[in-house]
Structure 1
């Protein structure tokens, strides 16, 4: 897994992804939608914009979605 995580993803030292999952986005479906939307965004633009970097970002969001779903499944 390639983690693309620039400094601006953190707020007050806390990872923004973790903040979404801890309640910044109150509905788990909002978290899912955020991750899925970003996967789609980066996959559809990679050839015209940032190439491999966008594929790595899509991978980061997909990996986060997988972990989120694993934690959500009883």
Structure 2
């Protein structure tokens, strides 16, 4: 007799229980990243044993959600990096203007060169 509560057949194929694989796959993740990753794996794990294509669609939904959320975080990080760049350049140019210390000009130029390098890599 199968135990559909503790060890359901659709989560124990291949000698590995799905919950153990989920724990390993999400050990370094938190929050929504962990939830979406675990659910996508869960639905992929069982799709051939339980709900077929419906489970594949559910897995895709969680993967799409994970991608969308991480793109937002990536976009926010890029915006923050550009803001830091602009602030650093403006600060150093203003300090050069106010103090006459050419080292500030060199720092501003270094920030600009670094940003050009970043943008060339992204292109």
- Which residue number in structure 1 is paired with residue 117 of structure 2? none
TM-score (norm 1): 0.61
Offset at 1:30?
A: 1.1
Greater fraction helix: 2
TM-score (norm 2): 0.37
Matched, 1:64 2:60: no
User: How many residues were matched structurally?
Assistant: 47
- Which fold has the larger relative contact order, with Cα–Cα distance below 8 Å and residues 6 or more apart in sequence? 1
**Which ranges of structure 1 fall in alignment gaps of 5 or more residues?**
1-27
Consecutive aligned runs of 4 or more in structure 1 exceeding 4 Å deviation: none
Rg larger for: 2
Task: Give the superposed CA RMSD.
Answer: 1.3
**Which ranges of structure 2 fall in alignment gaps of 5 or more residues?**
1-28, 78-123
